[in-house]
């Protein structure tokens, strides 16, 4: 289980922080999540969002909110079959768009057109006006669409749970191309991978353990790599039960190549060359990985009289069976590993220099990227399957009971800033020479 391990530098920050935090002690009127050793996360607003009469038995809220910082709006899907647009100040509803099934997806907000793209378990990708939820088009597929689409050069790229990658015209919703693989026979882990697009290629992964690079213009296969075969070759005589590659690929440059980082449930985490698909490295110990995140910190001098902190980058791999891994991008070497509590965890989200994640049984946690130790945690009495969305010092997500939370992280110089909706770090690290 995650433990409350507070490094000495957190104690220093506590003394510097200007946040006025209620220290409730044993006051009975204060909720249980106030009683914790770290005081960096505060719940600022909450409201019941999901209409229980419309949920049809779904007991989890998945996906991730989308944030419109300029318009101060949130776009959040729900198990009550709706996409909500909300005011970020007070979480009040601006409009709601009804679909035929659960909206357990990651919406994409496009500020250029002021529109929202989102998927539904009814098998469709929708495009609606962000102002009022007016439907612009609906693209029907034969399986749920849960991952965030990618918009590039007036083309929207996405994947459904039936192992089909699709490119559609962003203006009209007409299909440009599709690529389909036969789903794996046998047991699968719930969920599917999304897409990453760069250099004229679309990268995604499928339930049969295959990672592919597709030509972004035509959908033709450029190369493919069989993660499942790699796992089978090192798995001995034991049969593999899960071939899935459900993590959305992550792109990042290493010293020698632009790499695409992918994961197989049985095979661990892989780095492949984006040009050729050749294997750069593999970390097979990170079995069970279903989410990947790139964490980056530029070189900086945190204080005028402080030492220079060099730039750092690492790949975070979330696994329900082996924990949260921080891996070197260059060779896959483990930098640290944090055991995780029973149940599931979300993808860790970079937030004000730390890592923020939700858990299905133990609430919300803020972790140090140095070693994975816990900076702060809140037990709200609710489990979370949804990945948090963050901007500045604010975070938003919905619990599995349908309660929407607005949170704020408390840091140096934050006193008096609670009335501001979206805040960057008031004391931004100075770039190192």
pLDDT in tens, the chain (433 residues): 443 333 333 333 333 334 554 443 333 333 333 344 456 888 999 999 988 766 565 578 999 999 999 999 999 999 999 999 999 999 999 999 999 999 999 999 999 999 999 999 999 999 999 999 999 999 999 899 999 999 999 999 999 999 999 999 999 999 999 999 988 665 455 579 999 999 999 999 999 899 999 999 999 999 999 998 876 666 555 555 667 899 999 999 999 899 999 999 889 999 999 999 999 999 999 998 999 999 998 887 877 777 887 889 999 999 988 999 999 999 999 999 998 777 778 899 999 889 999 988 888 999 999 999 888 888 888 889 999 999 999 999 999 989 999 999 875 433 333 323 333 333 333 333 3
What residues have CB less than 8 Å from 349, skipping those under 6 apart? 293, 355, 356, 357, 387, 388, 389, 390, 395
Specify the CATH number for 181-339; select among 2.40.128.630, 3.40.605.10, 3.75.10.10, 2.40.240.10: 2.40.128.630
How many CB atoms sit inside 10 A of residue 89's CB?
13
The model's pTM is 0.85
d(CA 22, CA 39): 9
Tokens read off for 331: 């060779």
d(CA 330, CA 387): 27
pLDDT of residue 186: 53
pLDDT of residue 424: 32
pLDDT of residue 140: 97
- At 198 the three-state DSSP class reads strand
Closest CA to 117 of 69, 170, 153: 170
d(CA 96, CA 78): 10
Q: Kindly provide the b/e burial profile for residues 146-183, where b requires at least 16 CB atoms within 10 angstroms of the residue's own CB.
A: bbbbbbeeebbbbbbbbbbbbbbebeebeeebebebeb
Q: Are 261 and 289 in contact (CB under 8 A)?
A: no
pLDDT of residue 298: 87
d(CA 67, CA 116): 10
Q: Given CA atoms 158, 160, 166, 171 in this order, what sign does their dihedral have? A: negative
Closest CA to 191 of 332, 344, 396: 344
Closest CA to 78 of 97, 69, 90: 97
pLDDT of residue 353: 85
Q: Are 257 and 280 in contact (CB under 8 A)?
A: yes
Closest CA to 323 of 345, 338, 334: 338
- At 298 the three-state DSSP class reads coil
d(CA 106, CA 120): 10
CA-to-CA dists, residue 373 to 2, 32, 109, 339, 379, angstroms: 8, 22, 33, 10, 17
pLDDT of residue 340: 76
pLDDT of residue 233: 64
pLDDT of residue 247: 94
What residues have CB less than 8 Å from 12, skipping those under 6 apart? none
d(CA 382, CA 401): 7
Q: Are 82 and 97 in contact (CB under 8 A)?
A: yes
């Amino acid at each position: 289980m995650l433990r409350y391990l507070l490094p000495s530098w957190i104690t220093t920050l506590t003394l510097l922080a200007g946040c006025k935090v209620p220290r409730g002690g044993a006051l009975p009127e204060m909720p249980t999540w106030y009683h914790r050793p770290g005081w960096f996360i505060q719940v600022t607003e909450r409201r019941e969002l999901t209409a229980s009469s419309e949920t049809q038995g779904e007991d989890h809220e998945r996906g991730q909110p989308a944030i419109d910082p300029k318009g101060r709006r949130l776009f959040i899907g729900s198990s009550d079959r709706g996409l909500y647009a909300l005011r970020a100040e007070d979480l009040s509803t601006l409009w709601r768009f009804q679909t035929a099934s659960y909206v357990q997806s990651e919406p994409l907000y496009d500020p250029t057109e002021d529109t929202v793209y989102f998927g539904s378990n009814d098998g469709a990708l929708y495009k609606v006006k962000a102002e009022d939820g007016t439907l612009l088009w609906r693209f029907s597929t034969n399986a749920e669409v849960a991952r965030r689409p990618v918009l590039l050069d007036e083309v929207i790229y996405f994947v459904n749970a039936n192992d089909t990658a699709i490119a559609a015209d962003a203006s009209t919703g007409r299909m440009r191309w599709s690529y389909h693989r036969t789903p794996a026979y046998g047991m699968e882990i719930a969920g599917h991978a999304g897409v990453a697009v760069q250099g004229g290629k679309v990268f995604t992964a499928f339930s049969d353990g295959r990672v592919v690079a597709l030509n972004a213009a035509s959908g033709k296969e450029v190369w493919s790599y069989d993660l499942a075969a790699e796992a089978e070759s090192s798995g001995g005589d034991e049969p593999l039960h899960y071939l899935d590659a459900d993590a959305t690929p992550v792109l990042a440059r290493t010293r020698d190549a632009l790499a695409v980082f992918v994961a197989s449930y049985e095979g661990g985490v892989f780095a492949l060359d984006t040009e050729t698909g050749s294997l750069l490295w593999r970390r097979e110990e990170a079995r069970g990985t279903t989410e990947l995140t790139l964490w980056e910190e530029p070189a900086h001098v945190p204080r005028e009289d402080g030492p220079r902190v060099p730039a750092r980058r690492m790949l975070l791999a979330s696994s329900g069976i082996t924990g949260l891994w921080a891996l070197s991008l260059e060779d896959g070497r483990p930098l640290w590993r944090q055991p995780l509590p029973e149940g599931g965890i979300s993808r860790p989200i970079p937030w004000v220099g730390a890592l923020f994640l939700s858990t299905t049984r133990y609430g919300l946690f803020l972790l140090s990227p140095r070693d994975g130790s816990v900076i702060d945690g809140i037990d709200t009495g609710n489990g979370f399957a949804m990945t948090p969305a963050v901007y500045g010092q604010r975070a938003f997500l919905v619990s599995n009971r349908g309660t929407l939370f607005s949170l704020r992280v408390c840091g140096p110089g934050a006193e008096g800033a609670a009335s501001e909706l979206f805040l960057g770090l008031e004391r931004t690290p100075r770039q190192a020479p």
